[in-house]
Structure 1
């Protein structure tokens, strides 16, 4: 008994000793730092010590029971557990809004189904593709047909259209609807059908094309279910308001619908042209309903449309451009765009144009210097007296009135021109240009053109051996002529990765390996930069002494004033022309074939 008591008390005495030692040490440390601190031990350690001394066996029994209990809990938590089968989940796909019209707008009801997509195969094999009688209880009750579309998809198609904005709850009869082995995670589901909604689709101020004086505002509303016309029309308020928002006039209106009443168009009464711009304001109060019942709309619909004032005609833009005529020659044209349709004669009567001086007066610059960049604020009556008036030739339009008009003119390329359109011009709808339009524009440069005209021709050895070159707005040309050495013709064939009309040599192999090169430079006569110039080049001098074969030609621009300058800014095109011809030998009457090829570079800016 004494040994057992010693065995029980020894750990406790050790713990008490350690605690007392730590307390004494802590007391000394605290006394050094903060001074004396008074503390008395709680009563429970002494009570525990007394209990252990009086009843050591009971205390030991309690400790043993606690140890056994902890071990039992640990064993229970870590014992092998049976594998629980995976439960089947599903996704509810609420039905889309029913379609009430076909692509042509004719009435055709197409009810969209409700679908349940299961995570695993859930249907019994004998039910796949078949209708299921019962198995689902819905609240509110809906008549229809349940069908397993496949073993993962359960579909419900109602006999009547879905209720508008309804909340539907449903319960599964698992034993009746699913395969016996299926364990569902949840046997209930719920979904909502689409609520009735309305929106403003478009709003516009319209002018009758046949009667330009007739003007009105049209606003389109769209609904996802057929709208109740009575509920809609009694909630419409249409008013004409000024810039401050004050109502100038309440407007009468009419409403038209499509066949299935999914769209409504609100038409205002005919509007007169106000002096100042106004706004037509539409407000449709909340509470709209569908003919099929259901919820009411909670928010009001609003739309506003601007009504142009009398002086609302504007010149949207004026742009100079080049347009090819029937002879494929570029002509200078001013394109003018207005906010309304105007008559060509009226626009021509109100429009004047001048080509401004090349240089600012007093600058001392010569004609060789680039033209001065005139700004609109620098042009006054004094400058216009020194400017050259331009004759504007109107281009006829298909209709009497048009919003885009064109005028031909003749001016120096790169020059600055001043265009003035007087106020007072009227459009077909009665609107007036309130302020004059003024602008300064730059005449565009004519596009550069330099190329060999034909893709191929026959060069007779006994006749002319000329090729034709067409140019425009180019001062000269440089023609590089490369004659393929007869011994290297096979190299051109072997290393050509392109075609014979567009040869492209591969790797680091180029023409310099196989040709002997000549060069020809020629100046073109000065003339109209918009007119095409044609030049002939005679290749006979390169075919003397019986030299025949394939010639590669490179054509590029050339400035005669700068002998070494080449127009590198022009895009390049490579062309090869193969031109066979026949020569008759008067003695043997045998035919020989001569082939000439040309590769050209075309320059166009």
Structure 2
């Protein structure tokens, strides 16, 4: 086929495609008219003449262009898959501000490399050459490991300073090719923080007061630098400084490394009206090293009270605290805005127990309606709350919401006069003057307390309480609690076998008795830690007393005559010491949990709970570890106080199999060899002694102590 025919067919195909696209465009977009510019028409005509004159040249050029394009694509693909040199990158950890300590430890400059980049001989050197900082800073470079380079400065870093880390080419081995040899970092900017701003009252001179402020700086400054930037101004324009006191009304002293500044004002006089003092540190404070400046001003305000408002009662709250014997006691805590002796404040304090507020007929009707709605809601939600334990730890109040006063302004004078005075006693504090004051009282009744502090009482410095302070607070409710008396975990088998229980505010106690199988002593010891009478399972979610015990529940009613006083009862182990009907190995090892029980809701009270591990036995065990790792074991009868001869004592391993066994002599003594090298399943866990059905044990590990209950 001739070249002209090929070109003719190509042009014909192109023309048909162009006509089809033109018809498609006219169908959707309409007719467009376009006339080419003269230069384009002339170029097209010239190209047509050249094409007709040299058809073979045109085809050869097209083939050449195609071949060159394919060759170029292949060449680029070949070049892109050539092995490239592996370059090592470096990352500089940001430099921190030097921590303020008595002995300054300047932070290191740490550089992490993407792979090992150190010469082998440099790893052992205390310092290396070939790397430097610009600008210069005294210190030494050394490799921590092959990919970590550290610069340890011998002076502090200047603030807000750019540093360049420059490596010599010869610093790295020949095979290490770095991405770049110059890296940059910057130190933190210089900043100042106001840590404290307060009115200081001289404890030895009640008439002397001043403004005290503490400033913390990230870098040291020259003496006198802060004096040019610190300003004390009154927002409201009050004049608290003496007319004879020239500006700037303060002096500055410096603390540790001149990075802590203390600003003390001249003596101040309280204004006639409350005002605010503003402490400002303007920007531009310069560091002693490098001359970096703070970028922003900082300020903080302090309320300056007037003479009339200097001393006020800031807050009041009631709380329950424990005395040295662990007994709860009711407290009222008052917080004041100025220092005063607690005993001095007690002279102006009155506390009265308010009677119940009389409820109007309208309030009674509203109460009936709300109670009916509440009953309906309770019925609807009863099913969903059936499994929810009660967690209220306080003795419930019998006073209805409508019978409460809630505010001191609601209490009429005649009701206040009829209210019963409450005796109280101040709780001594360590300081003679203070701002938190506690008063101990004893009120065994539900209701509210009316607390009044009479005006006129004066705080330290002669500041009077300008107005009576009155408040109504609830009587502090004593917590509902149950406690197993005593500290030990041992009960005599032939004794009363009873636990003394103290409770408060409970109508019933639920006991959970987890009787541990004697075949599980190895697990009991190896899976717990802590004291013998209070062992804690190491991973209680996976392994606890449920894995080694039979568990029984027993509920005991309490004759609750006074919910404010402690009740004493006993729990008897006798029934739980009987041998199981199925011949189980359980005997006298118990996890006992006593918790409050609400007979009305039939739910346990989670907040009132105490637990104890109890061993009921007549076998007392005493162990003595010798210097060579051997042990002497002595058995004695708890009832008779005499040695127990001819009893077998086993030293159990972790798997429950005895490692060694021995029989006591006439003195109740037996000896065990050293087992310090025993490991894995033979790790010793406990000495176990048996006398018929009576079983006793003591953990092998040091730190466990077996205390009798008494």
What TM-score do the two structures reach when normalised by structure 2? 0.62
- Specify the alignment match of 1:294 in structure 2: 291
2: CA distance between counterparts of 1:71 and 1:378? 99
CA distance in 2, matches of 1:137, 1:582: 83
User: How far apart are the structure 1 equivalents of 2:17 and 2:589?
Assistant: 110
SS at 1:272 equivalent: coil
C-alpha distance in 2 between matches for 1:295 and 1:358: 69
Offset at residue 410 of structure 1 (A): 4.6
- The CA deviation string for residues 560-601 of structure 1, in whole angstroms up to 9 with x for no partner, is xx9x99785474557657376979xxxxxxxx99999xxxxx
* Alpha-carbon distance in structure 1 between the residues aligned to 2:164 and 2:193: 29
- TM-score (structure 1 length as normaliser): 0.71
Equivalent position to 1:11, from 6, 17, 22:
6
- Bigger radius of gyration, 1 or 2? 1
How far apart are 1:171 and its partner, in Å? 4.6
- Mapping for residues 476-491 of structure 1, pairs under 5 Å: none
Q: Does 1:578 align with 2:610?
A: no
3-state SS in 1 of match to 2:258: coil
Deviation per residue, 1:291-341 (Å, 9 max, x gap): 334333343343333323222323233334455667776554433332333
CA RMSD of aligned residues (A): 5.1
List alignment gaps of at least 5 residues for structure 1. 1-5, 483-488, 544-548, 584-591, 597-605
Any conservation in 2 of the 1:129–1:150 contact (CA below 8 Å)?
A: no
CA distance in 1, matches of 2:66, 2:434: 102
1:348 to 346, 349, 355: 346
Residues 180 and 24 (structure 1 numbering): CA distance in 2 closer, same or farther, change over 3 Å? closer
Q: Whole-Å Cα distance in 1 between the matches of residues 423 and 26 of structure 2?
A: 112
* SS of equivalent residue, structure 1 residue 217: strand
User: Which residue among 401, 408, 416 is the counterpart of 2:448?
Assistant: 416
Shift of 1:7: 1.9
User: Is contact 1:165-1:195 (8 Å) kept?
Assistant: yes
Which residue is equivalent to 2:312?
314
Equivalent pairs counted in the alignment come to: 549
Other-structure match for 2:458: 426
**Residues 144-183 of structure 1, C-alpha deviations (whole Å, 9 max, x = no match):** 6555555434555667766664444465431x32222332
Give the drift of 1:125: 3.0
**1:271 and 2:309 equivalent?**
no
Q: Select 1:183's aligned residue among 177, 180, 199.
A: 177
- Which residue of the partner structure matches residue 375 of structure 1? 406
Q: How does 1:451-470 map to 2 (within 5 A)?
A: none
- Counterpart mapping for 1:413-562 below 5 A: 413-448=445-480, 493=518, 523=559, 526=561, 529-532=563-566
CA distance in 2, matches of 1:10, 1:48: 18
> Does the 8 Å contact 1:413/1:446 carry over to 2?
no
Quote how far apart the aligned CAs of 1:217 are.
1.4
Shift of 1:227: 0.8
Is the partner of 2:124 in helix, strand or coil?
Answer: coil
Asked if the contact 2:424/2:440 (under 8 Å) is kept, the reply is yes
Could you tell me how far apart the structure 1 residues matched to 2:509 and 2:157 are? 81
Task: Report the CA distance shift for 1:534/1:459 in structure 2 as closer, same or farther (over 3 A).
Answer: farther
Specify whether residues 440 and 138 from structure 1 end up closer, same or farther in structure 2 by C-alpha distance, changes over 3 A only: closer
Alignment partner for residue 231 of structure 1, among 225, 231, 245?
A: 225
Q: C-alpha distance in 1, partners of 2:213/2:289?
A: 24
Residue matched to 1:52: 51
Deviation at 1:229, TM superposition (A): 1.6
Residue 122 of structure 1 aligns to a residue in which SS? coil
Correspondence list, 1:160-175, <5 A? 165-169=160-164, 171-174=166-169
Partner residue of 1:334? 332
CA shift digits 1:471-511 (9 cap, x unpaired): 565687799999xxxxxx9x965689879989967689555
Partner of 1:599: none
Compared CA separation, residues 537 and 426, structure 1 to 2 (3 A) = same
Segment drifting more, 465-474 vs 182-191: 465-474
Which range is displaced more, 50-59 or 149-158? 149-158
Encode CA deviations 1:205-257: one digit per residue, 9 max, x unaligned: 22223334322112222333331223332333323x14x46776555111111
Q: State the 1:269 CA deviation.
A: 0.7
Equivalence for 1:125? 120
Report the CA distance shift for 1:593/1:323 in structure 2 as closer, same or farther (over 3 A): farther
Deviation of the 1:288 alpha carbon: 2.5
Q: Does 1:219 align with 2:219?
A: no
Unaligned runs of 5+ in 2: 242-246, 365-396, 526-531, 535-543, 578-586, 619-637, 641-690, 696-710
